Amino acid sequence: MPSKDALLQIANAAAEAGDFDHARRCYEQGAVLGDAMCLHALGYMYDVGEGVPEDKAIAMKMYRWAWRRGNRDSASNIAVQYRGQGKFRLMFKWFERAAVAGDGSAQLEMAKCYLTGSGVRKNPEAALRCLAVAVGSIHITEYELEEAKALIADLSPRLV
């Protein structure tokens, strides 16, 4: 049997090529071996219905297993699942876990929560602190970085 790393590479290549059935089988093999990345990728397939029927419950289970095995990206995906269910306090707690694990995108999401009072009490100062961390993070997309900077520019004059 191939190693977990080899299974992940084969699965990623298969998914990239659009062979989702092969990707799923490789991710499943890696998941059985306890690979957090394979669990996360398998969860994503079920989350968005990529090569499998969409199933948010299975996706959540995979994300949770992946999180327990050290995949920090899974925390944000769990948070997004809770947001879709309207469970905003749980959503915030999972974004917070992702942020503590170093996810700058999660810092941006927490800032938005603090600004709107979604899952947490409104707190513009806390939002600004989250945004400052997000802007300094290497784990944030270019689009999110620009969004964080725009929010800082909008917030700063109001807090002075």
Residues 107 and 44 in one domain: no
What pLDDT, in 10s, does the model give residues 107-130? 999 999 999 999 999 999 999 999
Q: Find the length of the chain.
A: 160
- For the four alpha carbons of 156, 157, 159 and 160, in that order, the dihedral sign comes to positive
Name the pTM for this structure.
Answer: 0.90
Give the pLDDT of residue 27.
94
Give the pLDDT of residue 156.
75
Residues 160 and 91 in one domain: yes
Give me the mean pLDDT over the 60-86 stretch.
96
Asked whether the predicted pLDDT for residue 160 surpasses 60, the reply is no
The two structure tokens encoding residue 124: 């513009």
Asked whether the predicted pLDDT for residue 138 surpasses 90, the reply is yes
Q: Considering 38, 71, 104, which residue would you say is the last residue of a domain?
A: 71
Give the pLDDT of residue 3.
83
Are residues 114 and 128 in contact, defined by beta-carbon separation less than 8 angstroms? no
Please give the share of the chain, as a percent, with pLDDT higher than 90: 90
Residue 148 vs residue 72, higher pLDDT: 148
Asked whether the predicted pLDDT for residue 1 surpasses 70, the reply is no
109/95 Cα distance (integer angstroms): 7
Domain span at 102 = 87-160
75/62 Cα distance (integer angstroms): 11
Structural domain includes residue 76 = no
Q: 73-84 and 104-116 helices cross at what angle (nearest 10)?
A: 30
Of the candidates 120, 61, 48, the residue with the CA atom closest to the CA atom of residue 109: 120
